[in-house]
């Protein structure tokens, strides 16, 4: 029997490309992982918290490729919305009545779950109502929405706690220009602070002993023999028993699914004295959206200007969209109010031809919760919970 010569070096030779973890780093963060979750947005963190509730002693680690969530969770407009009336009418062209009602019900339930989990104070939640604004050229769309108001209200009566007037018509009291003089109002919609939302989820994860690793991009994984092998962008390799993918618009990096990334570009003004605009607003069939926040106007949208260019996972900006956002601010939203732009950014959504999220097992021990369709604030918590419910972790005595 051959014995190792103590002088022999059995470890791998040093590599300039590989980041060599210390024993402490490997043992503390990357060993004996029960569930690895890719993505630290609202779905990933909600999934982690739901798993912790079911499995108090299991090791749960969330991997995030950016310093902060890289998709849309901290880059969205913070709309607590359920769907404008024109969007609902459009959805009824490709979905049954029951499917549309269920979609909206899921958004209502998901938002209730988020508010219950974090509380309105942490979220800075304000129910100021949602408005749909119609351009002066959208007369046919506006009239169609008004004609179908009673029908949609009847359809949603049971969703909104027996409320018979979910949508109502109001006079434009905001001094908008180049729009119809009336808008459609939903008193149930609100707004929140997306940064505080994720901060609250991260704080809960920390208190529950869930590890969240930032700047830790997972580049590949393989499932074999009841074990998931994962590799990070710095060539670090490790394993986990279960894997949950919660990367929404970035999911095609790992999975072949019917979804596409969709970039949403946003800007925000400097504070505007005596800003009279309060609430959330959808404009031009929902392709544009704006709200008040800290005496500023946050304004986003414009994918319809070039759908193909915005079907990207690149967190960039384009002159085409940004110039149109500024033009609409000047001519429509703040026509008589001086303003300057403070910041610009973009986020990546996951969309598809169907509005229903994809929450399923992909292969043994691998699961996903993606394609939130721009409704991450409303449904992210419930999608995370559904994702967690797919995962079963057996103890050694039970096998598996």
Q: DSSP letter for 41, please.
A: S
**Gap between the Cα atoms of 306 and 327, Å rounded:** 17
Indicate whether 389 pLDDT > 80: yes
326-335: average pLDDT: 98
Indicate whether 180 pLDDT > 80: yes
pLDDT at 395: 64
Q: DSSP letter for 214, please.
A: S
Q: Are 340 and 267 in contact (CB under 8 A)?
A: no
The CATH homologous superfamily for domain 23-73+196-255+355-389 is FAD/NAD(P)-binding domain (3.50.50.60)
Token code pair at residue 135:
């351009």
Residues whose CB falls within 8 Å of the CB of residue 362, separated by 6 or more in sequence, listed in order? 245, 255, 368
**Gap between the Cα atoms of 251 and 70, Å rounded:** 12
Q: DSSP letter for 129, please.
A: -
pLDDT digits (tens, 9 = 90+) for 258-311: 999 999 999 999 999 999 999 999 999 899 999 999 999 999 999 999 999 999
Question: How many CB atoms lie under 10 A from the CB of residue 341?
Answer: 15
pLDDT digits (tens, 9 = 90+) for 46-100: 999 999 999 999 999 999 999 999 889 999 999 999 999 999 999 999 999 999 9
pLDDT at 66: 93
For 58-67, 199-208, 333-342, 349-358, which range has the lowest pLDDT when averaged over its residues? 349-358
Q: DSSP letter for 106, please.
A: H
pLDDT at 70: 87
Q: Where in the chain is the domain with CATH 3.50.50.60?
A: 23-73+196-255+355-389
Fold of 83-193+259-351: D-Amino Acid Oxidase; Chain A, domain 2 (3.30.9)
What sign does the CA torsion over 132, 136, 137, 143 have?
A: positive
336-362: average pLDDT: 95
Indicate whether 15 pLDDT > 60: no
pLDDT at 162: 82
**Is residue 113 helix, strand or coil?**
helix
pLDDT at 161: 82
Token code pair at residue 52:
């912790």
pLDDT at 12: 55
Q: Are 198 and 41 in contact (CB under 8 A)?
A: yes
**Gap between the Cα atoms of 18 and 24, Å rounded:** 17
**Gap between the Cα atoms of 192 and 208, Å rounded:** 24
Strand 211-213, strand 296-301: pairing? unpaired
Question: How many CB atoms lie under 10 A from the CB of residue 315?
Answer: 15
201 vs 21, more confident: 201
Q: Where in the chain is the domain with CATH 3.30.9.10?
A: 83-193+259-351
234-255: average pLDDT: 93
* Mean confidence (pLDDT) of the chain: 93
Indicate whether 17 pLDDT > 70: no
243-271: average pLDDT: 95
pLDDT at 13: 53
Q: What confidence tier does 6 reach under pLDDT thresholds 50, 70, 90?
A: very low
pLDDT at 235: 86
91-118: average pLDDT: 95
**Is residue 264 helix, strand or coil?**
strand
**Is residue 329 helix, strand or coil?**
helix
Q: What percent of the chain has pLDDT over 70?
A: 94
């Amino acid at each position: 029997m051959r014995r190792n010569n103590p002088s022999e070096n059995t470890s791998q030779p040093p590599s300039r490309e590989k980041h060599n973890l210390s024993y402490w780093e490997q043992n503390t963060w990357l060993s004996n992982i029960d569930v690895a979750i890719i993505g630290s947005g609202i779905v990933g963190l909600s999934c982690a918290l739901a798993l912790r509730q079911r499995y108090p002693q299991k090791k749960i680690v969330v991997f995030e490729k950016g310093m902060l969530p890289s998709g849309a969770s901290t880059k969205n407009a913070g709309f607590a919305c359920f769907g404008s009336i024109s969007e609902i009418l459009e959805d009824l062209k490709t979905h049954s009545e029951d499917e549309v009602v269920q979609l909206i019900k899921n958004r209502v339930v998901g938002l209730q779950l988020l508010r219950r989990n974090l509380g309105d104070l942490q979220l800075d939640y304000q129910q100021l109502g949602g408005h749909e604004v119609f351009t002066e050229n959208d007369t046919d769309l506006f009239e169609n929405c008004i004609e179908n108001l009673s029908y949609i209200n009847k359809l949603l009566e049971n969703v909104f706690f027996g409320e018979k007037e979910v949508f109502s018509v109001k006079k434009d009291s905001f001094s908008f220009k180049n729009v119809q003089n009336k808008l459609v109002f939903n008193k149930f919609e609100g707004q929140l602070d997306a940064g505080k939302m994720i901060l609250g989820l991260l704080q809960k994860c920390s208190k529950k002993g869930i590890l969240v690793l930032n700047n830790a991009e997972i580049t590949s994984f393989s499932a074999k023999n009841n074990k998931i092998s994962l590799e990070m962008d710095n060539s670090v390799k490790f394993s986990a028993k279960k894997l949950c993918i919660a990367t929404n618009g970035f999911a095609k990096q790992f999975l072949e699914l019917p979804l596409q990334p969709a970039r949403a570009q946003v800007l925000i003004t400097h504070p505007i004295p005596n800003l009279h605009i309060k609430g959330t607003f959808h404009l031009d069939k929902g392709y544009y959206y704006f709200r008040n926040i800290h005496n500023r106007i946050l304004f986003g949208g414009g994918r319809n200007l070039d759908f193909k260019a915005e079907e990207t996972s690149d967190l960039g900006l384009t002159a085409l969209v940004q110039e149109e956002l500024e033009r609409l601010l000047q001519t429509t939203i703040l026509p008589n109010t001086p303003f300057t732009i403070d910041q610009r950014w973009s986020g990546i959504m996951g969309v598809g031809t169907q509005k229903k999220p994809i929450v399923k097992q992909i292969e043994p021990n691998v699961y996903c919760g993606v394609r939130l369709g721009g409704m991450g604030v409303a449904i992210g918590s419930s999608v995370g919970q559904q994702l967690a419910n797919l995962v079963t972790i057996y103890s050694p005595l039970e096998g598996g």
